[in-house]
Structure 1
Amino acid sequence: MWKLLTEKKVLSWALYDWANSAFAAVMLASIFPVFFKEYLSAGQPVTTSTFHLGMANSIAGVVIVLLAPILGAIADAGEARKRMLLSFAALGMIMTAALYGVEQGAWLAAATLYALGVIGFMGSVIFYDALIVKVARPEHYDLVSGYGYSLGYLGGGLLLSFDILLALYPAWFGFSDSSEAVRFAFITVAIWWAVFTLPLVFNVPADRVGIRVSLKHAVTGGFRNLYETYRDIRQYKMVWLFLLSYWLYIDGVDTVVRMAVDYGMSIGFDSNDLIVAILITQFVGFPAALLFGLLGERIGAKAGIFIALCVYLLVTVWAYFMQDVQEFYMMAVVIGLVQGGVQSLSRSLYARIIPPDKAGQFFGFYNMMGKFAAVIGPVLIGSVAFVTDSSRLGILSVIILFLAGAVLLLKVDVKEGERIARQL
């Protein structure tokens, strides 16, 4: 196992999870949501800022929904997966660093830059996921996918730890106040993301050269391939069933990730306590994601996903009744045990049941379904909280997504999917 995980191309691929998880940990899950609510949305009701943050996430999701399958098809046409990954990553890095210049109360400018950063982050993941077929054999997908998420939790947790110190003790680092320190934290995310992307640049197998496609041809071909990809996916019944299942349950997962801190603040918990809880999730997630990869090899990815969904269902109900911040800490530990697992096993299960030569196109659809869920989830929780004036009812609304996703997952026959993927 360790020989595989220390292989240069595998480690370099997995380190991109370490790199971009700085954005996931600091921007999506913890410091930025707090900064947005307390500083950038100063003077607004908590439910209004929740709605604005939810809309920023959802708009970014809509853009990725529209682009994902087209970009995947374009990348496969010239096998430009690595180049496309780097282009979107650069967008995310630049927009994240630009948040340093946003002033207090400028929530619209901040939301715009944040949404563009999310587009860069999510767009790069489309091509990162597809590159797994270049660095690992099918029998190792579960372990390698879990390895990536595991390093992501550790890397994101380490930078988040540093940025928490920046926010809590700004004078230590020469800043006048915490707001200036937090804005600098956004720059650290961009730098971290850039530096740890370099191993992928140099060590992951290069794109095929010799195919040059004009922009016009790429776009028209991409739209044509969008329909062809949809038609191809419909030929793979198990792929289609899994995508529908994934679309539903990952909605709940992404909503919990992006809105947990906002929810905790809305029900009266201190923001510093909440960020510490997210840090706990990161470090618990580090070994848990790797262990889930091993579990997937033992009992199957599908069974592992079911275990995670049952935990998420119970956690959502628990969150509705939560009264004490200590419960939030305990919930952070529980989520950390399964969050990376459900993500990594979903990726590896999908990689098993798709044709390897169409990985870019099929992962474009995979990410489209996942990001379309991210469109609905934040808007759902934000809208329910806004209309009912109850953040608790908002968080409870995601239960149906876990249940519906699990029901569809029951119908997915993984062995049949693997057999057909290798024959057609």
Structure 2
Amino acid sequence: MRQRDPSKRFTKQEKSWIFYDWANSVYATNIMAVIFPIYYASMAGDLGSKWWGIGVSVASLVGALIAPTLGALADFKGNKKKLLFAFILIGALSTAVLAFVSDWKWMLIGYVISHIGFSGSCVFYDSFLPDVTTDERMDRVSGWGYAAGYIGGSTIPFVISIAVMLLRNYDPIAMKFAILIVTVWWLVFSIPILKNVKQTHYVETPPSELAKHAMSNLWDTMKRCVSNKGLFIYLIAYFLYIDGVGAVISLATNYGATLGLGTTGMIFALLVTQLVAAPCAILFSKLSGKFGAIKMIISAIIMYFIICGVGFFMGRLVEPYQLDYVSAARTSIAVQGVAFDNKEDEKAWSSLTVDLVEDTRDVLSEADRAAAFDEVVADYIRQAGDATAVNYVFTSDASRQTAVAALTNIGADLDVYAADTAKQEAYNGARTTATTLFWVLAALVGTVQGGIQALSRSYYGKLVPQSRSAEYFGFYDVFGKFATVIGPLLYSMFYFLTDRASVGILSLLILFGGGGILLIAGRKELSKTEKEMRAANAVMEAEEA
């Protein structure tokens, strides 16, 4: 039975719990948010960037589906820490594998597996919160957890990774180092939670009946989540607004890369996010004591409305120039009037020209884009004329000659486009403004990202029974992970439909708006549930004593 600690000092268990945010936050920064998405985008091009949102959704979906069952198993005596350790290993080791594959499809598969390990470990980590602290200290401990993640876990290995990448000019070895440091950091700094934190609240059951009782408790918890009006309102609201938060995190650098913003500038801007987020997470936990957690969460949602609006405007500055180029390139391709006698050649030509447009658009922001265009086109001419090529396979020498001749003419047209200095200057000006706005967005996100995550976790911890925290946090994770299925899918869907990434960013307002409205409308029910659970947990603690 833990004792209430009226002092401001953290207990050994609280410190060890907080330190796990220090351990695993490097995954969120290097793999989910910044470095790996940029590395992936450089390997996959525009097509892979569109699939990125789908890959994130798949990872979140699988993690969400297994979370409730894992939570139900973890609530039984002695299971929580074992499962935490298992998922730390899955996440950390599969992350290391990402450094040794180069095909974007395998990179995406590896990311999905590592993300499942990361998200699974977070279920057990979050559910340890009621085991290590009291309701009165929960907001503070949760806030300091996120702050530790931003101060240490995100910032220190992130800065080391940036330094190595700058020194090596973003070569593959530097990117692989930035991935491998995640595995080492995560494993080493997970030792305190595995050594010092104990599962003080649990459900007793014979090992032979573990699966039976887990399924029974899972069903019971599901019914309680639905029948308890306050808890249900909170979970649906959380489902909506945390989706937007997760989408902003996972799509930020991919969005910037799609707009042609510089890699170095984006990385340093997101470092600003980490530095701003650490004190703001602590500030949010303090302000929640004065204004209440729900009001602070709503204020963060309002800020995310502003963030999405600025992000949309940033995209609208750059996209007209990109779309103008895509239109010119497609017109040049159409003018060639290329036709083949068989479907195999038609398919090869269609695939080649789609990739050509995407790859030349990616170098549109180069200082000497005429030379960059020539380099890309020359590579495609080489592949089209190579009888042993594997990417674009034409069936005869005549077909290859036709493709090469058409590509040569397209290259000449692109040189004419590149020679329009007025367009290039206007595009560069738009990119400069968009880059400045990206820095502004990074700072704005930092003011609310840690706070909304920390308060969402600690407030939920006050709405659930302590002895079944893992089970309930399993459902919490379901709602969070299913939310991050919808956000990236919304982004990708609107991007595919409109060919404008900015419209995908704007679609996230649907989620923030829905979550905010539910929290405002359900304030009375939320307050009622919080009071009832505080009384129930007090009775349980008295019985344990």
Which TM-score bucket, shorter chain as reference?
A: over 0.9
Question: Would you say the 8 A contact 2:131–2:199 is kept in 1?
Answer: no
Match of 2:479 among 369, 392, 410: 369
Does 2:250 correspond to 1:258?
A: yes
Question: Would you say the 8 A contact 1:50–1:382 is kept in 2?
Answer: no
The answer for the alignment partner of 1:146 in structure 2 is 143
Tell which deviates more after alignment, 307-316 or 72-81.
72-81
Match of 2:120 among 119, 123, 135: 123
Question: Would you say the 8 A contact 1:354–1:421 is kept in 2?
Answer: yes
Question: Would you say the 8 A contact 1:15–1:196 is kept in 2?
Answer: yes
The answer for the alignment partner of 2:99 in structure 1 is 100
The answer for the alignment partner of 2:38 in structure 1 is 34
Give the SS at the match of 1:77. coil
The answer for the alignment partner of 2:85 in structure 1 is 86
Distance 2:476 2:8 in 1: 26
Question: Would you say the 8 A contact 1:249–1:406 is kept in 2?
Answer: yes
Provide closer, same or farther for how the CA distance between residues 416 and 79 of structure 1 changes in structure 2, counting only shifts above 3 A: farther
Match of 1:330 among 437, 440, 447: 440
Distance 1:206 1:238 in 2: 27
- Deviation of 1:132 after TM superposition, in Å, equals 0.5
Give the SS at the match of 1:354. coil
Match of 2:207 among 191, 202, 213: 213
The AA in structure 2 aligned to 1:201 is L
After superposition, residues 262-273 of structure 1 pair within 5 angstroms as 262-273=254-265
Match of 2:25 among 17, 21, 32: 21
Does 2:412 correspond to 1:418?
A: no
Question: Would you say the 8 A contact 2:128–2:199 is kept in 1?
Answer: no
The answer for the alignment partner of 2:516 in structure 1 is 406
Provide closer, same or farther for how the CA distance between residues 5 and 251 of structure 1 changes in structure 2, counting only shifts above 3 A: farther
**Gaps spanning 5+ residues in structure 1: where?**
172-176
**Gaps spanning 5+ residues in structure 2: where?**
318-433, 537-545
Does 2:498 correspond to 1:388?
A: yes
Question: Would you say the 8 A contact 2:77–2:199 is kept in 1?
Answer: no
- Deviation of 1:356 after TM superposition, in Å, equals 1.4
Normalised by the length of structure 2, the TM-score is 0.72
- Deviation of 1:56 after TM superposition, in Å, equals 1.5
- Deviation of 1:78 after TM superposition, in Å, equals 3.0
Question: Would you say the 8 A contact 2:81–2:199 is kept in 1?
Answer: yes
Match of 2:166 among 160, 168, 172: 168
The answer for the alignment partner of 1:201 in structure 2 is 194
Distance 2:95 2:67 in 1: 21
The AA in structure 1 aligned to 2:125 is Y
Give the SS at the match of 2:175. helix
The AA in structure 2 aligned to 1:268 is G
Distance 1:265 1:198 in 2: 36
Distance 1:317 1:268 in 2: 19
Distance 1:274 1:301 in 2: 32
1:167-195 per-position Cα deviation (integer Å, ceiling 9, x unaligned): 11128xxxxx6211111221110110011
Provide closer, same or farther for how the CA distance between residues 235 and 419 of structure 1 changes in structure 2, counting only shifts above 3 A: farther
Distance 2:8 2:41 in 1: 44
Distance 2:219 2:195 in 1: 34
Question: Would you say the 8 A contact 1:10–1:135 is kept in 2?
Answer: yes
Q: Which has the larger radius of gyration?
A: 2
Question: Would you say the 8 A contact 2:33–2:249 is kept in 1?
Answer: yes
The AA in structure 2 aligned to 1:52 is W
Distance 1:392 1:209 in 2: 48
- Deviation of 1:5 after TM superposition, in Å, equals 4.7
Question: Would you say the 8 A contact 2:205–2:213 is kept in 1?
Answer: no
Provide closer, same or farther for how the CA distance between residues 292 and 423 of structure 1 changes in structure 2, counting only shifts above 3 A: closer
Tell which deviates more after alignment, 141-150 or 409-418.
409-418
Question: Would you say the 8 A contact 2:247–2:487 is kept in 1?
Answer: yes
Provide closer, same or farther for how the CA distance between residues 244 and 5 of structure 1 changes in structure 2, counting only shifts above 3 A: farther
Question: Would you say the 8 A contact 2:68–2:478 is kept in 1?
Answer: yes
The AA in structure 1 aligned to 2:482 is F
